[in-house]
Amino acid sequence: MPRTTASQSARAHRSSRSAAKAVSVAAAVALLATACGDDGDEQLETLNIDFATYNPLSLIILENGWLEEELEELDVDVKWVQSQGSNRANENLRAGNIHVGSTAGSAALLNRAVGADTHTIMIENQPEWSALVTQEGSDIESVEDLEGRSIAATLATDPYFFMARALQEAGLSVDDVEVQALQHADGRQALENGDVDAWAGLDPIMAGAEAEGAELLYRNVEFNTYSVVNATGDFVENHPDIAQIVVNVYEQAREWATENPEGTAEILAEYAGIEPEIAEAVITERTNFEVDPVPGDDVYAAMEAAGPFFVENGDVDSQDAVDEALDSLFYTEFAENREATDAEGTENAAEGADIEEAEE
């Protein structure tokens, strides 16, 4: 089971508590499913699930129609909702607009820490998707030079927490800069227009900006907190069979992406509106699909490091609330029991899919 490494000290202690609680949650869901049975649960008519350019596997699934195919025999429709950022996915999860949503690990933890009944059910990939970005020719040469400057960042997302950690490492804090709260694409535009001095970027938008001359001021893969897939507590409790199918289809997409990096880049380029060579760089250089999809020690540690910033920024009242959220966040059963589906897919499936574009 995850998070039981004996050689770790405080982290290991908390990690083992987290693993135990994850097992408890899994057991509770299993018991509930057994006790209620199919007759006790209301039939799910439509699965509401998101897709996002920062989650390439979701694009592969949407493009091929695999999820619709797998759920057809259960008479469950699929409605796709576009997430423009982790914050939007979290908002939709909290509001019950989607059952399954894509976020960064830090955002998943924050959502639960503020009271959302959500669980991380699998890891999508380990990306290096965040960095601090400046315009070509900027006089900013180090993170220390950002003091007193303006930075565009999307609140409650990995790029924001990346920025906060980078500033801390440089002996600064968020209070030492002027943060302009903008969605990812708007942040890039603000940088290009000269409205801000720097941008906490996110791929693939960041890769597009880089190709047009923007410079990556600061990179640190360890400050990225994984791409994860989350589900509402109600969904995993009342529809575990559907949740398992979702994870199984993701596993098919993972295998396909690993074997077809060029095809994955083509799909990403289409959905993100970027040049194929830029998408290829994102997929081959800054995306790792071969990570274990079961949430475990590594993602736990990455999230744990981001947690203190929630309290510092006033997003969460106490570190205890963050710790409790982390200890109950992972629901590992679906990823542990994953079996890749073998859906054949449909040509131009996305054209016939039920898609709702989320507000930016």
pLDDT in tens, 7-64: 233 333 334 334 433 443 444 344 333 333 333 358 999 999 999 999 999 999 999 9
Residues 283 and 195 in one domain: no
| 1, part of any domain | no
Contact by Cβ (8 Å): 203, 54: yes
Residues 216 and 237 in one domain: no
Residues 151 and 123 in one domain: no
State the average pLDDT for the chain: 89
Residue range 230-246: mean pLDDT, rounded: 98
Residues 281 and 271 in one domain: yes
Cα 303–Cα 268–Cα 278 angle in degrees, nearest 5:
90
| 4, part of any domain | no
Residues 328 and 241 in one domain: yes
Q: What is the CATH number of the domain that holds 80?
A: 3.40.190.10
Predicted confidence (pLDDT) at residue 225 exceeds the cutoff of 80: yes
Residues 339 and 273 in one domain: yes
pLDDT digits (tens, 9 = 90+) for 312-348: 989 999 999 999 999 999 999 999 999 999 999 998 8
Residues 70 and 170 in one domain: no
| 5, part of any domain | no
Residue 35: predicted pLDDT: 33
Residues 295 and 185 in one domain: no
Residues 250 and 197 in one domain: no
Residues 175 and 276 in one domain: no
Residue 358 confidence class, pLDDT cut points 50, 70, 90:
low
Strand 227-232 with 118-127, pairing: antiparallel
| Enclosing domain of residue 154 | 130-222
pLDDT digits (tens, 9 = 90+) for 282-315: 999 999 999 999 999 999 999 999 999 999 989 9
| 235, part of any domain | yes
Predicted confidence (pLDDT) at residue 243 exceeds the cutoff of 60: yes
CA–CA distance, 300 with 228 (Å, rounded to integer)? 12
Looking at the 3D structure of the chain, how many domains does it have? 2
On the question of a cis peptide bond just before residue 204, with omega within 30 degrees of 0, the verdict is yes
Query: Which of 128, 116, 167, 146 lies closest to 313, judged by CA?
Result: 167
Predicted confidence (pLDDT) at residue 117 exceeds the cutoff of 50: yes
Domain boundary among 169, 197, 222: 222
Domain boundary among 222, 238, 266: 222
Predicted confidence (pLDDT) at residue 209 exceeds the cutoff of 90: yes
Q: Which residue has the higher pLDDT, 30 or 217?
A: 217
Residues 115 and 148 in one domain: no
| 323, part of any domain | yes
CA–CA distance, 335 with 127 (Å, rounded to integer)? 19
pTM above 0.75, yes or no: yes
User: In the chain, what percentage of residues exceed pLDDT 90?
Assistant: 85
Domain boundary among 175, 201, 222: 222
Residue 313: predicted pLDDT: 87
Residues 140 and 160 in one domain: yes
Residue 347: predicted pLDDT: 86
Residue 10: predicted pLDDT: 32
Residue 42: predicted pLDDT: 81
Residue 41: predicted pLDDT: 53
| 164, part of any domain | yes
Contact by Cβ (8 Å): 152, 196: yes
| 208, part of any domain | yes
